[in-house]
A and B are shown apart, each in its own frame.
Chain A
Amino acid sequence: MSAFTDRADAALADRILKVAVERTAGTAEAKRAVAVQAFPDFEAARDRAAAIKDHVVAHLGAYLEQFEANAIAAGAKVHWASTADEACQIVIDICKQANARTVARSKSMLGEEIGLPHALAEAGIGRVETDLAEHIIQLADERPSHIIWPAMHKTREQVSALFKAKHRTPHEEETIAAMAESARRELRSQMLGADVGISGANFLIADTGAICTVTNEGNAELSLVPPRVHIVTAGIEKIVPSMPHAIHMLRMLARSATGAALTQYTTFYTGPKRPGDRDGPEEMHIVLVDNGRTKMREEGLAEMLRCIRCGACMNHCVVFRQIGGHAYGGTYPGPMGAVLTPAFDGLKANRDLPNACTLNGKCQEVCPVRIPLPTLLKGWREKSWREGLEPTSMRWGLGIWAFVARRPGLYRFGTGIAVRAMQLLGKQGWIGKLPLADGWTRYRDMPKPAAQTFMTQYKKERRK
C-alpha cells in the first residue's frame, strides 16, 4: 500500500467528507453548466483562450522581460526565484526589512505551492489568512483541499465548532450567514493592522506591468491596500500580453470556476502608491517564480502551463468527487494536480496520482484552455513504466499477460479454464467471492461471465 492508497482508503471511508465535497462541487458543476449555456460562443472562446496561452508560453522569456521593465517603470521592485525556497527567502527578507510583525495574506495557490505559510511561521512572522476558506483551514491547521474552495472538505457543523472554539466573539445563531459574520468581526481589525499584504496574481499584464487579482470577498483589496508593503508571488506562466488578452481569460475563468460572468472584485495594480494618493502601499514587490515551470515547458508539459487555476477539472472529476482533495497529497488536487504534483515533487513518490484516473475525459471537456489532461496523465504512466517505477507485481503480471496474449492458442486455453472456473464459483449470475481478487468482491458481487468464451461461441456459430 502506498501513501496515496492509504489516504484514498481513509477518504472513501469518511462519510462526512463525501457530503461536504458533494455539496460544493455539485453546486459548482450545475452553475458552470448554466453559465456556459448563456454564452453561445463559449467553445470558440476556449480555442482562443488556449491559443493566447500557447502564444505566451512560446514567447515566455521575452514577455517576462517586457513585464519586468514596465513594472519597474511603475515603481515596483521585481525579484526572480528559480526554486520554492528561494522565493520564500525573498519574501521573508522583504518582510524583515520592513520590520513586519504580521502579514495579511490573500489566498494564493502559488504561495501554498512554495510553502510560504510554513516559511513565515519559521521566520516568526504572524500570518492572517483573509480569504474565508483559508481562515477556516488556518484555524484548523490544515491544508487546502481545493484550489477555489480550500475548505470544501468542511461541513457547516465543523466550521461552527471551529469558530466557537477560536473566535473572540463567535456567532450564536447556527446559520452560515452568522458564521461568516463572526469571521468578518474577527478578521477586520487584523487586516487593517497588518504590516505587509501578500497576494498571488491571476494575471501579469506584460505591456503595462500590472498584476491582476480576482476575489468575490474583496479580501484581496482589504489585505493589500492598507499595509505599507505589498508582495506579489506569481508563477511565470501567469503572463498575458495586454489587458484585452486578460479580459478574454477573465471571461473564461469566472464562468469555469463558479459559474459567474465575472468575480465581484477584479483589480489591476500597477506599482505602489503615487504622489498625493490617500491609500495604497509605499512599496510593491513582485516575485516571479519558476519552481519547475521552465522544465515543464522543455519536457513535454508545456500545455499544462496554460492552466488558469479555475478548478473546473476537479469539480467534474469522478475520482475527486469520491476522495476529495487531501488524498492527492500535493498542493494541487484533482486532474490538474495529478499532472502537476509529479512535476513539482517527483514522479517516484507520486506515481499513483496519474493512475487515480478513469480516463473518462470529463476534465478535458470542461477545461477553459483545453489542456489535454488525460493525455498528459497517460504520459506520466508511460514514463513511470519506462523508468521502472511500477511495482514488481505489476511488471510481472503485465509481462505474463503479454506473453500469453501473443500466443492465441495458449490464451484461449487459459481463458477457457478461467470461464469454467468462474461458472463453478457463481450463483445465479453473480460471484460473491473471487480467489486472488477478494478486494474486488469484498463490498460488491462480480457479474458471472458467459458460460463460454467469445471464441468458443464464434466457432460454434460458424460451423452451423
Chain B
Amino acid sequence: MNSRDAILARLKGTAPNRAEADTLLIAPERPAVDESALEAEFLARLALPSVSATHDSIDSLTDLPAAVARYLEGQKESLALCLPPDPRLQSCDWTGFALHGTAAPDEAAALAIARKGIAETGSLVFETSPATPMLPNFLTLHHIVLLAVSDIAPYLEDAPLPGAQPRAHYWITGVSGTTDIEGTYVRGAHGPRFLHVILLRQ
C-alpha cells in the first residue's frame, strides 16, 4: 500500500459535514470595528506601532504621480519607481520619473494597487495576476500603495473574493520586521522598511 492509501486507511474518515463546518462560523468573535467610520478605523490601525505606515490622500488618479513624488522627495529618494503593468497605473503621467518594469535587487521603491483595505487590522489586500506581480512588493525599501477609500472593508473575512482563487492572495500589515534578536523590534528585516498608503477619495 502506498503512503497515501495507508494514511487515509488509518484515518478511516467520515465525510465532513459541510453544515457542521459552517455552524462553526456563525457569529465569530472578532475585535470591534465601527462600521460607520471605516476610513477612520483603518487609518487608526495603520498608525499603530505594529503597522507604522504613513498615509496621504488624493481626489483623482491623475494626482497619483504628484503624491508619489511628494513621498519620495520627503524620503530623500530619487524619482525612480518599479511600476507594475497595471493599466490604471500605466495611464498616469509619469513624466520626470525613471520607471522600471521589474524590480532590481536594490530597487528603492515600488508602487502597487491594493484590492482592499481591512479596517480590523490595517491590512492591505493584494492578488497576483499578469498585471500585478508579487515580488516588487516584498523587495523594495519603500512600498507605496494606492487604495480607494471605497475599497476599505471592516473585517478580514471581507478580504478574499468568492470562487476561484488567484495564484497568491496576500495581506500586508506593516513593514518587514523582526524580533529575532532578544525580542527587540527592528524594521526592514528583509523587505520594505517603509509603507506609505495613498488613499483615493474619488
The chain A residues found within 8 Å of chain B, CB to CB, are 20, 23-24, 26-28, 38-42, 44-45, 48, 51-52, 55, 58-66, 74, 80-82, 86, 130-133, 136, 149-151, 154-156, 159, 176-177, 179-181, 183-184, 187-189, 191-192, 206, 208, 210, 216-219, 221-222, 225-226, 236, 241-245, 247-248, 250-251, 258, 260-280, 288, 290, 294-295, 297-298
Apart from the given pairs A48-B29, A261-B173, 4 other A-B contacts in the complex at a CB distance below 8 Å: A27-B183, A64-B13, A243-B160, A279-B133
CB distance from B8 to the nearest CB of A (A): 5
Given contacts A219-B190, A248-B28, whether A225 and B138 have CB atoms under 8 Å apart is yes
Q: Is B76 among interface residues, defined by CB-CB distance under 8 A?
A: no
Q: Is the CB of A265 within 8 A of B180?
A: no
| A-chain residues with CB within 8 Å of residue B16 when the two chains form the complex | 55, 59, 62-63, 66, 206, 241
Q: Smallest CB-CB separation from A181: which chain B residue?
A: B188
Partner of B129, one of A155, A192, A277: A277
In the complex, what residues of A have CB within 8 A of residue B133's CB?
Answer: 277-279
Instruction: Write the chain B residue with the least CB distance to A70.
Output: B165
How far does the alpha carbon of A61 sit from the alpha carbon of B15 in the complex, in Å?
Answer: 8
Cross-chain contact B130 with A278 (CB below 8 angstroms)? yes
Q: How far is the CB of A261 from chain B (nearest CB, A)?
A: 5
Q: Which are the 10 A-B pairs with shortest beta-carbon distances?
A: A61-B13, A61-B11, A276-B130, A41-B29, A24-B183, A218-B191, A80-B4, A133-B180, A294-B10, A45-B29
Whether A221 contacts B8 by the Cβ 8 Å rule is no
With A82-B7, A180-B178 as contacts: A217 and B169 at CB distance below 8 Å: no
Is B177 touching A216 in the complex (CB atoms < 8 A)? yes
A184 touching B3, Cβ below 8 Å:
no
Contact present for B50 and A260 (CB under 8 Å): yes
> A42 — which chain B residues lie within 8 A by C-beta?
29
**Taking the complex as formed, is B94 at the interface, i.e. its CB lies under 8 A from any CB of chain A?**
no
CB neighbours of B85 from chain A (8 A): 278
| B18 partner residues in chain A, CB cutoff 8 A | 241
User: Which chain B residue lies CB-closest to A151?
Assistant: B180
Stretch at the interface among B19-27, B67-75, B144-152: B19-27
Q: Are B167 and A59 in contact (CB under 8 A)?
A: no
A280 CB contact (under 8 Å) in B13, B28, B45, B168: B168
Are A290 and B182 CB-contacts (below 8 A) given A41-B30, A62-B14, A251-B30? no
Contacts known (A80-B3, A225-B138, A267-B169); A132 close to B180, Cβ less than 8 A = yes
Q: Which residue of chain B lies nearest to A243 when distances are taken between CB atoms in the complex? A: B160
Task: Looking at the assembled complex, report how far the CB atom of A73 sits from the nearest CB atom of chain B, in whole angstroms.
Answer: 10
Instruction: Determine if B8 and A65 form an interchain contact, defined as CB atoms under 8 angstroms apart.
Output: yes
Select the stretch in B35-43, B56-64, B109-117, B120-128 that faces chain A. B120-128
Nearest Cβ on chain A to B136's Cβ, whole angstroms: 9
Query: Which residues of the other chain, B, contact A262 by a CB distance below 8 angstroms?
Result: 121, 123, 156, 171, 173
Which chain A positions have C-beta within 8 A of B28?
Answer: 45, 48, 244, 248
Known: A60-B11, A149-B180. A277 touches B138 (CB 8 A): no
B54 within 8 A of A: no
CA–CA, A206 and B183, complex, Å: 34
Taking the complex as formed, is B174 at the interface, i.e. its CB lies under 8 A from any CB of chain A?
yes
Residue B200 is within 8 A (CB to CB) of chain A in the complex: no
A residues less than 8 Å from B188 (CB atoms): 180-181, 184
Interface centre among A40, A82, A208, A247 (most CB of B within 10 A): A247
User: How many Å lie between the Cα of A265 and that of B179 in the bound state?
Assistant: 14
Interchain CB contact under 8 A, A272 and B134: no
**Contact check: which of A236, A263, A271 meets B167 at CB < 8 Å?**
A271
Contact A132 B189, CB 8 Å, known A61-B11, A277-B130, A280-B167? yes
Interface assignment of B12: CB less than 8 Å from any CB of chain A: yes
Q: Which residue from chain B places its CB closest to the CB of A290 in the assembled complex? A: B7
Q: Which of B7, B120, B165, B179 contacts A208 (CB 8 A)?
A: B165
Give chain B residues whose Cβ lies under 8 Å from the Cβ of A181: 188
Check A180 against B186 for contact (C-beta < 8 Å). Answer: yes
- Measured between beta carbons, the chain B residues less than 8 angstroms from A266 are 123, 170-171, 173
In the complex with contacts A66-B16, A279-B135, A176-B182 CB distance below 8 A: yes
- Give Cα distance in the complex from A82 to B50, angstroms: 40
Contact residue among B3, B13, B184 (Cβ-Cβ distance under 8 Å from A62)? B13
A112 CB to nearest B CB, Å: 16
